[in-house]
A and B are shown apart, each in its own frame.
Chain A
Amino acid sequence: GAVVSQHPSRVICKSGTSVKIECRSLDFQATTMFWYRQFPKQSLMLMATSNEGSKATYEQGVEKDKFLINHASLTLSTLTVTSAHPEDSSFYICSASGTPLDTQYFGPGTRLTVL
């Protein structure tokens, strides 16, 4: 149990385009989902926390207009990187939990490359 999927696993796009990444909890209802960014050989940096049906809470320094997060259902959250630039290239990982204080289960990650 507690499986989280992400789609796509890998995406390459041109600078200036927008990219949407989906995060799904497959066998449980996720009231809370988290989005992280990870640079090579580094730890995870929390970008935002989203609760189903509410606006996402962004961490300091994360541009909310650039990284649009939607958590429209208890099993799906999306991260849209708008007007992507090469510096947005990174590994994006989502996690989901059944309650805000429950264990977070992580997706396999999405490798974004912006040319």
Chain B
Amino acid sequence: AQSVTQPDIHITVSEGASLELRCNYSYGATPYLFWYVQSPGQGLQLLLKYFSGDTLVQGIKGFEAEFKRSQSSFNLRKPSVHWSDAAEYFCAVGERNQGGKLIFGQGTELSVKP
């Protein structure tokens, strides 16, 4: 069955430090992959997506992610974290043969310390 794993429930980084949030997926075919961010009490905002082509994807707010098929991973990175990046981050895989349904990981809560 398709699944998404975000191994880290909570991560704390210092402002200005680099960030990497991990995401591993299990999917039979080439997946659609997404990273979303959710601030408390809010909906989800799309950070970036991978459908095909270049495996290094650039997103909004300075985020990027790299699709590594051999590792079934789609890790999210940012070179320098800002305090406003504190939020919940969700990785998701889109099921191409299920009308675009998304399967979400459990989320990683990011805290940023000054």
Contact = CB atoms under 8 A, between A and B. Distances in A.
A43 B100 contact: no
**What's the dominant secondary structure at chain A's contact region?**
strand
Interface of A: 4, 6, 32, 34, 42-44, 46, 49, 51, 57, 91, 93, 95, 97, 99-109, 111
Nearest to A6: B43
Contacts, number: 57
A46 B101 contact: yes
Interface string B33-57: 0101000011111100100000000
Interface of B: 32, 34, 36, 41-46, 49, 90, 94, 96, 99-102, 104-107
Given A43-B106, A103-B34, A103-B49, A34 B101 contact: yes
A104 B49 CA distance: 11
Contacts of B101: 34, 46, 49
A95 B44 CA distance: 9
